[in-house]
Amino acid sequence: MLKMFLLAASVASAQVTFDERFEQFKRTATPEQLYAFLYAMPKGGDLHHHGSLAAYPEEWFAAATDPAVTRGNTFFTRLRYSACPDSLEPFLRYQTIARYAFLKLSPCAQEEYARLDQLSPERRQGWLSAMRLDQPGEGRDEFFEQVVNRLLGLARDPNVLADVMARYLQRYGREGIRYVETQLGLVGGVDQEGQPYPPAKVADTMRAMLARPEVKASGVTVRFLITVIRFRPDAEQRIEEAYAFLDQNRDLFAGLNLAGREDNDKGHALRFLETFRKLRRQYSGIRLSIHAGEVDSPGTQVRDTLLLGAERIGHGLNLITDPNTLVRMRDRRQLVEINLVSNRLLEYFPNLDLHPFPEYLRTGVPVCLNTDDPGVWDSNLTDEYFTAIRHFRLTWAEMKQMARDSLQYSFAPSEVRRLMLANYDIALGNFENRFAKSFPETLKSVKPEPSGYALRNILVK
């Protein structure tokens, strides 16, 4: 008994020591040291990101120009406008389309495009830059109306999409991410002739991707959420189709999300109340994480979304303006998925000092950090932690709490969740032991892969 007490006491004191040592490290570390530390740290899960917007442009380019991936498909990207009668809208430079769409165009319209695998180095750089928000002045409209459309032709090819996911899952694994919940559209996939790709086949393509040895070796556990774009006229029907699909593919597909800009009122939450109630009469155990409150104005979007049955809220920015719901969230039944870099770049909080995240975190609302669209932000989860520390001086205990909550509130089956939490605790213990002697000395062995976002915003010389 005395032995157990002594053991518990020594564990507790080691814990306190690491917390204190982290505080001291934060005060004295260079940005490069802090970045390396956060890169190496075990991170739990990324519960909020969109599959087609999580891959870096370089990963898209590599996949879309690799014959082993494209299996005979070819992609064309728009370089100029010729005002042909059948020119595709929207008029976007670097909009990329598959061969079947290219072949439907008149010779005049085809002249606007070049093969993606035959771009000059300068054009290639232009293409890569057009797929991310890396220039001053690029914000919400550039993202929603342009970048998303430029990538659509690539993201619709399930082979290319699966391949970029394989690439970024390995990258996530190197960054210490142990679990992801990736949002995927159920419809929109097409084969090389432009025919709809059946959802069951999309699921099989994803299963095959996850079985690849290099993806298994990444150590990242994956579940998918089906995304329905909320403001579309047929969104109710899409939700019903998604439920039927989710019910049939529970091994890998855990639940549903509603996405799409919330400043389009056509997609307001209560529009879907009867649809979800009807579906709950038929189905059990379909999990809901729903974007809510990603707007500039005050409102009750989060409350309305909880009424839909959501267990997690994406963004929750204006939850801070709804005191009754905010107080209720402190009973820890639902989690808010925080996306700092996204909220900054899309100008919801150009000054992150004003972001409600610390208020949620420090009043007991469950939160975790996520990447949202890291392919377009050119960012990673390390950037989110770095940003949170620099703006809000996170403690070690807060970081551990968020990482554990990202697993605790995941939609993985309970036995998978328990195992991930146990493994996370072991990894974290090992990490703390590794840094027990000297932070700066140990950091010499860490080789971080800084993101483009970090190089432009965090590690600026």
- Number of neighbours of residue 15 by Cβ within 10 angstroms: 15
Q: Nearest approach, Cβ of 182 to Zn ion (angstroms)?
A: 11
Q: Nearest approach, Cβ of 339 to Zn ion (angstroms)?
A: 7
Q: Which residue is nearest to Zn ion (CB)?
A: 372
**Peptide bond between residue 57 and the one before it cis (omega within 30 degrees of 0):** no
Decide whether 77 or 289 has the Cβ nearer to Zn ion: 289
Decide whether 149 or 442 has the Cβ nearer to Zn ion: 149
- C-alpha span between 350 and 205 (Å, rounded): 39
Segment contacting Zn ion by CB under 5 A, of 39-47, 272-280, 364-372, 413-421: 364-372
Letters for 313-352 (x = contact with Zn ion by CB under 5 A, - = none) are ----------------------------------------
| Binding residue count for Zn ion, defined by CB under 5 A | 1
> Measured over all CA atoms, what is the biggest interatomic distance in the chain, rounded to whole angstroms?
86
Give every CB contact of residue 70 below 8 A, 6+ residues apart in sequence.
Answer: 63, 64, 157, 159, 160
Decide whether 190 or 229 has the Cβ nearer to Zn ion: 229
| Touching Zn ion, residues 51-110 (CB under 5 A) | none
Q: Nearest approach, Cβ of 249 to Zn ion (angstroms)?
A: 22
Decide whether 29 or 292 has the Cβ nearer to Zn ion: 292
> Which residues on adjacent β-strands are paired with residue 368?
337
Q: Nearest approach, Cβ of 48 to Zn ion (angstroms)?
A: 6
Decide whether 34 or 254 has the Cβ nearer to Zn ion: 254
What region, left, alpha or beta, does residue 446 occupy, with left being phi > 0 and alpha being psi -120 to 50 degrees? beta
Decide whether 112 or 372 has the Cβ nearer to Zn ion: 372
Decide whether 304 or 372 has the Cβ nearer to Zn ion: 372
Start-end of H helices in 136-211: 140-141, 148-155, 158-174, 199-210
Q: Nearest approach, Cβ of 270 to Zn ion (angstroms)?
A: 20
Q: Nearest approach, Cβ of 415 to Zn ion (angstroms)?
A: 28
Residues 272, 239 contacting (CB under 8 angstroms)? yes
Question: What's at 389, amino acid-wise?
Answer: I
Give every CB contact of residue 185 below 8 A, 6+ residues apart in sequence.
Answer: 52, 226, 227, 228, 229
First to last CA, the chain: 55
- C-alpha span between 160 and 20 (Å, rounded): 46
Segment contacting Zn ion by CB under 5 A, of 25-33, 57-65, 365-373, 440-448: 365-373
| Touching Zn ion, residues 367-386 (CB under 5 A) | 372
Q: Nearest approach, Cβ of 172 to Zn ion (angstroms)?
A: 17
Decide whether 65 or 318 has the Cβ nearer to Zn ion: 318
- C-alpha span between 311 and 255 (Å, rounded): 10
* Residue 181 host element (H or E): strand 177-185
Letters for 265-304 (x = contact with Zn ion by CB under 5 A, - = none) are ----------------------------------------
Q: Nearest approach, Cβ of 42 to Zn ion (angstroms)?
A: 24
- Number of neighbours of residue 42 by Cβ within 10 angstroms: 20
Phi, psi of 289 (to 5 degrees): -120, 125
- Pair of tokens at residue 191: 């084969």
Residues 47, 334 contacting (CB under 8 angstroms)? no
Residues 184, 228 contacting (CB under 8 angstroms)? no
Segment contacting Zn ion by CB under 5 A, of 86-94, 103-111, 135-143, 366-374: 366-374
Decide whether 59 or 337 has the Cβ nearer to Zn ion: 337
> Which residues on adjacent β-strands are paired with residue 183?
50, 225
Q: Nearest approach, Cβ of 150 to Zn ion (angstroms)?
A: 18
Q: Nearest approach, Cβ of 272 to Zn ion (angstroms)?
A: 17
Decide whether 372 or 432 has the Cβ nearer to Zn ion: 372
Residues 53, 397 contacting (CB under 8 angstroms)? no
Where on the chain is the footprint of Zn ion (CB under 5 A)?
Answer: 372
